Amino acid sequence: MPEEPAGGWSAGDLATLAELAETFVRGGSVRRANLAAEALARAADPAQVRQLKLLLRLLESRLGNLLLTGRAVAFRDRSPADRERALLGWAHSRLSLRRSAFQAFRKLLTFLAYADPGPPGSPNPLHVAIGYVPDRPPVTSSPAAIRPLEVHGPSAGAAEEAITLDADVVIVGSGAGGGVIAAEMTRAGRSVIVVEAGPFLDEAHLPSDEMDAFGRAYLNHGLLTTWDGSITMLAGTAVGGGTLVNWMTSIAPPDDVLADWARDHGIDGIDGPAFAADVAAIEGDLGVAQATVIPPKDGVILRGAVALGWDAAPTRRNATDCGDCGSCPFGCPRGTKQSGIRAHLASAAAGGARIVDRARVTRVLIERGRVVGIEADVLVVDPAAGERVSGAAGEEPSPRTRQLIVRADQVVVAAGALRSPAVLVQSGLDHPAIGRHLRLHPVPVVAGIFDEPIDMWRGTMQAARSLEFSRPEPGRNGYVIESAPGHPGLIALALPWQGTDAHADLLGAIRHVGPLIAVTRDGGEGRVRPLAAGRARVDYDLDASGIATLRHGLVSMARLARAAGARQIVAAGTP
């Protein structure tokens, strides 16, 4: 192993990271440490990576361990049991920095242990041990009719000039918001260009395993958390945005929420017939219909609700003719998920809209107080090979980009709550609301362990829900109880870690786990602050009602799982 691997990780850093990996999950720790270093180098903020490296170096010094754990013994010289005690001490520490460090290492290293498919020809032995066999759905014969615009590098000897395109409207982001706007604008006869930072993944080339999906289709490779590591955020970062990888549950805004929006936020008419017609139109575009196949994990909700006398019903979802494969978090190769790609971007493309993928917008162009377009850095295509250019032979692979300028009279920034603030700030805007008032609907998790197999990764992603507690009550907000269609990496990340064997035992029962989540209405809010290197810091604080809602949801889900026949109940969360 080189002394200073790519990303600035020394052999000593990697050795200590491997010791931590082995403590969290036994086996394959050297490979996992290298995977973790690569993931952090690609996805994490450099300042956070420096802090983690400093912590690793402190762990290998006697003085550092005295400060961190109260014992002047290097981490490498401790017994496995003593290493476990040290990590659990961080998990329960009164010092937030220790708790944050524990969460960062726990989430990353347990996720990689179970998400990694293994090297070619050598399946992950943990998958074999827990009985995880993912489905391999067929690929549609009618792919979405979208082909992004290719941006070529200059011909040999030519100057590296910016590429300039013109349109009536340029849309930054291709997710749920950007896709709808693109379709509506082209329908109105406007010329449209959609600029997306992520790649276009067609149905024939979608990820086939969890780690590949997080690497190619999720923002920050699925490693995005709040700054303190307490909340993990999953957001899409490919053409189609979150609609490419989401779980398809389609619940219309409840009447009481619409009334709040109209009363408290001044959105006139949102609780009236005009907005109801808009919702109906979107549901028509997406083919929203009631789930017809109820897999075992969703049967838990229906069965438990009947026993308790609670509300529950099949979920409405944006899919047609599907219910058996469970690969939705990786994208839908069979083309039955009515994502934004199929429902809106394909319509926009048919109407003449151009889509540019792998183009990171650096700023909105403003002249004399009016927007006139955008600037972006786009990954170029080698015209000879027809492939993206990664770097010259013998050099460290690095993306090759070219400046793209899109001139347009209208600019729509639809890069999501986590990335739009950076675009606006980099454009010189300084409105006090930029980046503030972030809502995340925090989700507590309860895992019920049943005698019968559940296989949560198979079948309809979410097929049932309970609205029993959807309305707020004094002291708490409303929430919806749903199932969580997890694959092993995500479940390993979500389940508590009380020691190496305890965590292994939980994952050993994964085929029998019925996972429940409570999608809560926020109590509290967050803030997004743009950082250097194109990343952002996300902070989020729960208020008293938010904390009470999470607790109420945990208790309700535990009752539901018990009523459905669970023999063991695990509340997932810290640690």
pLDDT digits (tens, 9 = 90+) for 102-114: 999 999 999 999 9
Q: Which residue has the tokens 């809209």?
A: 353
> Above 90 in pLDDT, residue 391?
no
Average pLDDT of the chain is 91
- pLDDT class of 74 with cuts at 50, 70, 90: confident
Where are the alpha helices (H) located in 25-119, listed in sequence order? 29-43, 46-59, 62-69, 80-91, 96-115
Residue 352, amino acid = G
pLDDT score of 154: 67
- In three-state secondary structure terms, 465 is strand
Quote the DSSP letter at residue 274: H
pLDDT score of 45: 86
308-329: average pLDDT: 89
Measure the CA–CA gap between 39 and 150, rounded to whole angstroms. 27
Q: Write phi, then psi, for 175 (nearest 5 degrees).
A: -80, -150
Residue 255, amino acid = D
From the centroid of its chain, how far is CA 380? 26
Ordered structural domains, the chain, with CATH? 11-115 (no CATH), 163-248+335-426 (3.50.50.60), 287-318+437-572 (3.30.560.10)
pLDDT score of 417: 95
pLDDT score of 393: 31
C-alpha distance across the termini of the chain, in Å: 33
> Above 70 in pLDDT, residue 510?
yes
pTM, to two decimals? 0.91
Residue 67, amino acid = L
Strand segments (E) across 174-290: 192-195, 288-290
Per-residue DSSP letters for 14-25?
HHHHHHHHHHHS
348-376: average pLDDT: 97
- pLDDT class of 388 with cuts at 50, 70, 90: low
Instruction: Enumerate residues 6+ apart whose C-beta is below 8 A from 460.
Output: 291, 293, 294, 295, 298, 317, 322, 323, 324
- pLDDT class of 158 with cuts at 50, 70, 90: low
Measure the CA–CA gap between 333 and 217, rounded to whole angstroms. 14
Where are the alpha helices (H) located in 318-407, listed in sequence order? 340, 346-350
> Above 60 in pLDDT, residue 91?
yes
Measure the CA–CA gap between 429 and 530, rounded to whole angstroms. 13
pLDDT digits (tens, 9 = 90+) for 429-476: 999 999 999 999 999 999 999 999 999 999 898 999 999 999 999 999
- Please report, rounded to a whole number, the percentage of residues in the chain having pLDDT higher than 70: 93
Q: Which residue has the tokens 């998400």?
A: 115
323-351: average pLDDT: 91
pLDDT score of 156: 54
192-210: average pLDDT: 94
540-555: average pLDDT: 96
Quote the DSSP letter at residue 150: P
> Above 70 in pLDDT, residue 157?
no
- Please report, rounded to a whole number, the percentage of residues in the chain having pLDDT higher than 90: 74
309-321: average pLDDT: 94
Measure the CA–CA gap between 243 and 65, rounded to whole angstroms. 45
Instruction: Enumerate residues 6+ apart whose C-beta is below 8 A from 184.
Output: none
What dihedral angle (degrees, nearest 10) is formed by the CA atoms of 361, 367, 371, 372? -70
> Above 50 in pLDDT, residue 397?
no
Query: Could you tell me the CA-to-CA distances from 79 to 75, 82, 90, 181, 575 in Å, in that order?
Result: 9, 5, 17, 58, 21
What dihedral angle (degrees, nearest 10) is formed by the CA atoms of 43, 45, 50, 53? -30
pLDDT score of 7: 57
Q: Write phi, then psi, for 570 (nearest 5 degrees).
A: -125, 125
Measure the CA–CA gap between 72 and 66, rounded to whole angstroms. 4
How many of the other CB atoms lie within 10 Å of CB of 135? Answer: 12
> Above 80 in pLDDT, residue 312?
yes
Among residues 137, 214, 128, which one has the least CA distance to residue 510? 128
* C-alpha angle 422-423-426 in degrees, rounded to nearest 5: 80
How many of the other CB atoms lie within 10 Å of CB of 377? Answer: 17
281-288: average pLDDT: 95
- pLDDT class of 389 with cuts at 50, 70, 90: very low
pLDDT score of 399: 58
> Above 60 in pLDDT, residue 395?
no
> Above 70 in pLDDT, residue 387?
no
How many of the other CB atoms lie within 10 Å of CB of 109? Answer: 25
141-168: average pLDDT: 82
> Above 90 in pLDDT, residue 80?
yes
Most confident range (mean pLDDT) of 37-51, 184-198, 379-393 is 184-198
111-127: average pLDDT: 94
- pLDDT class of 82 with cuts at 50, 70, 90: very high
pLDDT score of 448: 97
